[in-house]
Amino acid sequence: MKEDSQPLVDHLFRHHYGKMVSTLTRIFGLNNLGLIEDAVQDTFVKALMHWQNGIPPNPEGWLTAAAKNRAIDLFRKIKSDHSRAEKVSLEYSENTIEQLFLDYQIEDSQLRMIFTACHPVLNPKDQIAFALKTIAGFSDKEIAVALLLKLETVKKRLSRARKTIKEQGIAFAIPNKEEMIPRLDQVHNVLYLIFNEGFHSTQSALVLRKELCGEAMRLCSLILKKQYLRTGKGYALFGLFCFHAARLDTKLSSDQSLIDLKNQDRTQWDKSLIDLGNEAMHKAMDFEELSIFHLEAAIATEHVKASSFETTNWEKIKNIHEIIHQYFPSDFSILNQAIVFLQLDQPKDCLALLKQIKPENLEKRAYLFYGLYAEYYLYIGDEKQAIASLNLALSNVSNEAEKAYLEKKRANLLNQ
């Protein structure tokens, strides 16, 4: 054990895995992902064996060198063996392979992988699983845990993604100018979904869910690093992530139960993330476009700006929700408006909107609809109906933390 060796950076292995899988895909192609993943995995096992007596001074450099050697090995083997099914691209020689392990090339490879994962021919559900696997370095099992899916489902999605990539002959490339705008849109949407999986479905005990948020933010900033990929929408998305992430740690109490916005300890909100979010929103203003992310970020800003729940500028939030509903109407946009009406002491308006909503359109978030009904009945003093609504909410909730939250609420009512 060397006395001076430092602990490893958080997520070093996971992130490095994504970098190296992307880099090796440049060399061996998307058709050989299985082979590539095994090769990268080998370098981690090697690190594990070598580092038990002490971590080298530059662990990331060590891992990169190991992956480079492994790639060159594999390249020689495949080239010399013509019977092998895998094909290696002829554009590379050992010399050019070396170049691919330079930092800026690694970043370029990662971007190619992000655009591949978010390719429009892939099913959106497969896009998320594929991105988490090949870019974020999650294992199948970790994806299943993070997304609350069965392991079999994850495996199916991943193999379907690979099959589609193969069949459609998707190029491992960054889209050209004409294609860029819609493709970048798709990337933003996938990142948004990954973040929301982590943020909204708080499966309390699992650190992995927080890592989903971190991953979405990391990939978003990777994109914003490149001038040609910077857009107002991208900055607004990053700003939105920052404002939400600033509250993430205060959403759970020490006993892992859920704390609602009203009761979160606002002094614990992460000031540096809020500043980072504000900075991103300023940059977003340099572009003319306006997106749903701008609007959602504007709402999130109001929340992080307010020093207490009571002093929140609900009037402004209501106006933004109205704009959202105007441009992107859905049962969710109605529900959000209804929530705000109750804060504005307008229960009748709240009820009128609730009546327009079809809870089945909210899918797994239908419990939010019944939860709001309960709030409404409480507001007008009808505890019996409030309890009935909570029962409905409970029968529609699958998330343990949300369930516990609703149960606590019901217990309080029953005990009065």
Does 197 bind other proteins (CB under 8 A)? Our answer is no
- Only segment of 49-57, 250-258, 329-337, 387-395 that touches other proteins (CB under 8 A): 49-57
Q: What's the CA gap between 43 and 65, in Å, rounded?
A: 9
Buried residues in 138-158 as b, exposed as e (16+ CB within 10 A): bebebbbbbbebeeeebbebb
Does 205 bind other proteins (CB under 8 A)? Our answer is no
* DSSP-based three-state secondary structure for 258: strand
Question: In the complex with other proteins, which residue's Cβ is closer, 215 or 296?
Answer: 215
- Only segment of 73-81, 131-139, 252-260, 344-352 that touches other proteins (CB under 8 A): 131-139
Of 35, 44, 170, 347, which one interacts with other proteins (CB under 8 A)? 44
Q: What is the dihedral of CA 329, 330, 336, 338, to 10 degrees?
A: 90
Does 53 bind other proteins (CB under 8 A)? Our answer is yes
Question: In the complex with other proteins, which residue's Cβ is closer, 13 or 379?
Answer: 13
Question: In the complex with other proteins, which residue's Cβ is closer, 9 or 285?
Answer: 9
Residue 308 structure tokens: 């207490």
Does 272 bind other proteins (CB under 8 A)? Our answer is no
CA 399, distance to chain mean position in Å, is 18
Burial of 72: CB neighbours in 10 Å, binned 0-12, 13-18, 19+: middle
Question: In the complex with other proteins, which residue's Cβ is closer, 40 or 240?
Answer: 40
Shortest Å, Cβ 340 to other proteins:
39
Q: Judged by CB under 8 A, how many residues of this single chain contact other proteins?
A: 29
The CA-atom distances, in angstroms, between 38 and each of 16, 117, 133, 293 are 14, 19, 13, 38
* Closest-CA residue to 113 (of 8, 36, 203): 36
Of 48, 102, 205, 380, which one interacts with other proteins (CB under 8 A)? 48
CA 326, distance to chain mean position in Å, is 26
Does 62 bind other proteins (CB under 8 A)? Our answer is no
- Only segment of 38-46, 218-226, 302-310, 351-359 that touches other proteins (CB under 8 A): 38-46
Non-local (6+) Cβ contacts of 298 within 8 A are: 320
Of 55, 88, 154, 386, which one interacts with other proteins (CB under 8 A)? 55
Does 7 bind other proteins (CB under 8 A)? Our answer is yes
Residue 155 structure tokens: 């495996």
Sign of CA dihedral 125, 160, 156, 138: negative
Does 61 bind other proteins (CB under 8 A)? Our answer is no
In which residue are the tokens 């002491």 written?
345
Of 75, 101, 138, 341, which one interacts with other proteins (CB under 8 A)? 138
Shortest Å, Cβ 398 to other proteins:
25
* Closest-CA residue to 371 (of 352, 357, 392): 392
Of 4, 49, 176, 178, which one interacts with other proteins (CB under 8 A)? 49
In which residue are the tokens 């009512």 written?
413
Question: In the complex with other proteins, which residue's Cβ is closer, 12 or 259?
Answer: 12
Interacting residues toward other proteins by CB under 8 A: 1, 3, 5, 7-8, 11-14, 16-17, 41-42, 44-45, 47-55, 137-139, 141-142
